[in-house]
Amino acid sequence: MHAPDPAPPTTPDPAPPTAPDPAPAAAPAEAGSGPHARRFGLPIATCLVMGNIIGGGIFLLPASVAPFGTISLVAFGVLTLGAIALALVFGRLAERLPQTGGPYVYARAAFGDFAGFLAAWSYWITTWVSNAALAVAAVGYLRVLFPALGAHTWSMCLGALAVQWLPALANLAGTRYVGVVQLVSTVLKFAPLLLVAVGGLFSFDPANLGPFQATGQSPAGAVSASAAILLFSYLGVESAAVSAGEVRDPARNVGRATVLGTTGAAAVYLLGTLAVFGLVAHDKLVTSQAPFSDAVDAMFGGTWGGTLVACAAVISMVGALNGWTLLSAQTPYAAARDGLFPKVFETKRRGVPVAGVLVTAALASALTVYNYTAGGDGVFEVLVLVTTFTATVPYLLSTAAQIYFLASGQRGRVRRGRLVRDAALACLAFAFSLWLVAGSGYAAVYQGVLFLFAGVFCYAVMAARRDRRPAS
């Protein structure tokens, strides 16, 4: 899959009267001022996308879908096509509006302040709750490397807080260090994954695959059921678009990084899952708690696979936290510039929105402490499930914005062939986003809507404060 061809230089028509003009693109000096700030090039932007898509879930993914049989690979293929379509749409949108904020900017430009705020609000909730979930999951792998960490609840809690705040400190040090951490963590975590994904194919045993369809469902039902587990594997395709203001030549590089990062993550997902299917016997894989560890053990013998996979998982999650921490600050920053989030979120130092990083890390830390002190009430798990819904709201609004731009003809002149292609991609991406919402489940959608309604109250307060300001 190639990145979309760059659009010919055009002068965009002004936004319609009912929608506010999008915020001006951040000046280069804003993101790159000072020795500790540096705008991301294509390689780091691609690593940001890949690192955020692939967190720690991949290390359990093969065992999660094994009960459905190898038909789950068909579901993976369908989802990959939808994710790439979504990536191409974000690339097109970034060409039109190459500004920090991504979905917030697109929704606001197309549908006005309220839609933009909903995109920003829901995305912000997703980031800080997901950060807490990643940190808690990382402790599970840290306990493999340091068994003493699991001796007490407070030690596990401190470990989770450390995993959260180390990436936050890297962000506060400046975009230069964010890029370095992201590049190094992506390379380190992909080494063992590629070892299994590529090297495992040489030890592949078709007898281990088990049945094509292991359940009594119809083929369509089996694909849908396995897709419900895999649906959220591609959350993070918007990473480069959200940080467009920190990317060099965003109109060109955001789209390329999004497509390259998504296809790279898809290749690792598909090859890794296929390799594990062929290395570990199906009956063992169904009950495996560490499928990649079992795969490494099958390749080389011994029992050192668990340590290797634990190291890769911790690196993977720290890298994902590094990227998600940056994204968690970028969307509130863009909304604060327009008066839709508190003004403190607008403060930037060394290319990073400082308040956004600190507030997000504090909220994630509070949720982490609550998880370890509240006991087994399941509140934390419910909140994490809600993020699978809140994450898709910006996707739906972004793809709807692209459909609006194409249908209205107000965002650049396009050739007929390109218009048809972009419209088809936008419709496919919209359907993919709607499928993500449906896969969240009734409970998650119900809880997620309550979170959105809480945002409506915040919007009313912020919009009123902004409108009361005297005109300059």
CA distance 235 to 435: 13
φ, ψ for residue 353, nearest 5 deg: -70, 100
φ, ψ for residue 392, nearest 5 deg: -85, -15
Beta bridge partners of 214: none
In this prediction, residue 104 has a pLDDT band, given cuts at 50, 70 and 90, of: very high
CA distance 260 to 278: 27
Q: Is residue 282 a contact partner of residue 209, using CB atoms and an 8 Å limit?
A: yes
Burial state string for 82-117 with b = 16 or more CB within 10 A and e = fewer than 16: bbbbbbbbbbbbbbbbbbbbbbbbbbbbbbebbbbb
For tokens 């839609």, name the residue: 115
CA distance 437 to 443: 11
How far is C-alpha 350 from the geometric centre of its chain's CA atoms? 24
- Residues 308-315, mean pLDDT to the nearest whole number: 80
| pLDDT for position 44 | 83
Query: What is the DSSP annotation of 106-118?
Result: HHHHHH-HHHHHH
Other beta carbons less than 10 A from residue 135's beta carbon: 26
Query: The tokens of 450 are what?
Result: 């309550």
Q: Greater confidence, 133 or 232?
A: 133
Mean pLDDT, rounded, of the chain: 80
Question: Percent of the chain at pLDDT above 70?
Answer: 85
For tokens 């690979």, name the residue: 73
> Which amino acid belongs to residue 441?
G
| pLDDT for position 399 | 93
- Residues 243-262, mean pLDDT to the nearest whole number: 86
Other beta carbons less than 10 A from residue 59's beta carbon: 25
Beta bridge partners of 348: 353
In this prediction, residue 3 has a pLDDT band, given cuts at 50, 70 and 90, of: very low
CA distance 369 to 362: 11
| pLDDT for position 122 | 92
Q: Is residue 448 a contact partner of residue 389, using CB atoms and an 8 Å limit?
A: yes
- Residues 11-27, mean pLDDT to the nearest whole number: 39
How far is C-alpha 177 from the geometric centre of its chain's CA atoms? 20
Beta bridge partners of 352: 349
Name the DSSP class of 349: E
| pLDDT for position 471 | 56
List the one residue out of 119, 37, 48 whose CA is nearest residue 349.
37
List the one residue out of 218, 266, 345, 209 whose CA is nearest residue 80.
266
| pLDDT for position 319 | 82
- Residues 336-362, mean pLDDT to the nearest whole number: 88
In this prediction, residue 25 has a pLDDT band, given cuts at 50, 70 and 90, of: very low
Q: Is residue 319 a contact partner of residue 182, using CB atoms and an 8 Å limit?
A: yes
CA distance 242 to 103: 7
Q: Is residue 219 a contact partner of residue 4, using CB atoms and an 8 Å limit?
A: no
| pLDDT for position 379 | 61
CA distance 315 to 186: 8
Query: The tokens of 239 are what?
Result: 């990473």
In this prediction, residue 380 has a pLDDT band, given cuts at 50, 70 and 90, of: low
CA distance 37 to 176: 5
CA distance 227 to 461: 40
pLDDT 10s digits, 269-287: 888 888 888 888 888 888 8
List the one residue out of 274, 261, 296, 291 whose CA is nearest residue 191.
296
| pLDDT for position 111 | 93
pTM: 0.78
φ, ψ for residue 249, nearest 5 deg: 50, 60
φ, ψ for residue 296, nearest 5 deg: -65, -40
pLDDT 10s digits, 428-447: 989 888 887 877 778 888 88
| pLDDT for position 303 | 67
In this prediction, residue 365 has a pLDDT band, given cuts at 50, 70 and 90, of: very high
| Stated length of the chain | 472
Most confident of 151-155, 307-311, 367-371, 407-411: 367-371
**Is the four-CA dihedral 73, 77, 80, 82 of positive or negative sign?**
negative
Alpha helices in 19-174 (DSSP H): 28-32, 42-53, 61-65, 72-96, 103-111, 113-145, 153-172
Q: Is residue 215 a contact partner of residue 67, using CB atoms and an 8 Å limit?
A: yes
| pLDDT for position 387 | 80
pLDDT 10s digits, 55-81: 766 777 788 888 888 888 888 888 888
Q: Taking CA 370 as the corner, what is the angle to CA 369 and CA 373, rounded to the nearest 5 degrees?
A: 85
pLDDT 10s digits, 171-217: 888 767 677 777 777 777 777 778 788 878 888 888 888 888 888 77
List the one residue out of 235, 456, 212 whose CA is nearest residue 327.
235
How far is C-alpha 20 from the geometric centre of its chain's CA atoms? 27
